[in-house]
Chains A and B, each alone.
Chain A
């Protein structure tokens, strides 16, 4: 089956610093990658959709200057949380798909804690 990895799996950073999270599709080329955020005991909220080589499309209410998404290749997308604050502490999950007719494959998630 298709495998999506995320790195790091958890990270602790100080308020005001930036953190980069990587999402890789290991055995397929992902034309589209998605980034989700999940707060404790809540569902996944879609943050943005990124297509390789083009700018990400952000969901309403998600600050694109704060959550920088880069989808530089068909196997890698990155999410950078800039000037992190404690309220950005959350579980960030990416997913990838090969095309519209294919299901999404989810990464294992990255737990971010901002102190």
Chain B
């Protein structure tokens, strides 16, 4: 079974709005990563946040990690139509990555 569960499963917003996706996991982790996948394509690594970090930024992306709640969030600010994709969190435990179910984001122009 998947380690991570993502919420919401699908999100539809207007261009310019912010998008927030959440990921919850069950066991202790070394780090957590967020990936993006365009339909039918491979994965693109977005951000890695280690277990001793609480927040990380990369451009329009902001990731938070709360190890006490075993949860992480990905915020995309000022969204663009090109941000339309599926977003997955993956937890790293003992060298293996386990993926969440993903959030499908649609940004309408």
Contact = CB atoms under 8 A, between A and B. Distances in A.
Interface residues of A, number: 23
Interface string B30-51: 0101010000111111001000
Contact of B42 (A32, A103, A108): A108
A103 B48 contact: yes
Contacts of A91: 40
Interface residues of B, number: 20
Contact of A43 (B40, B41, B99): B99
Contact of A32 (B35, B95, B101, B102): B95
B25 interface: no
A82 interface: no
Interface in B45-80: 45, 48
B84 to A, nearest CB: 15
Contacts of A109: 41-42
A112 interface: no
A103 B45 contact: yes
Contacts of A103: 31, 33, 45, 48
Given A43-B2, A46-B96, A49-B96, A111 B42 contact: no
Interface of B: 2, 31, 33, 35, 40-45, 48, 88, 95-102
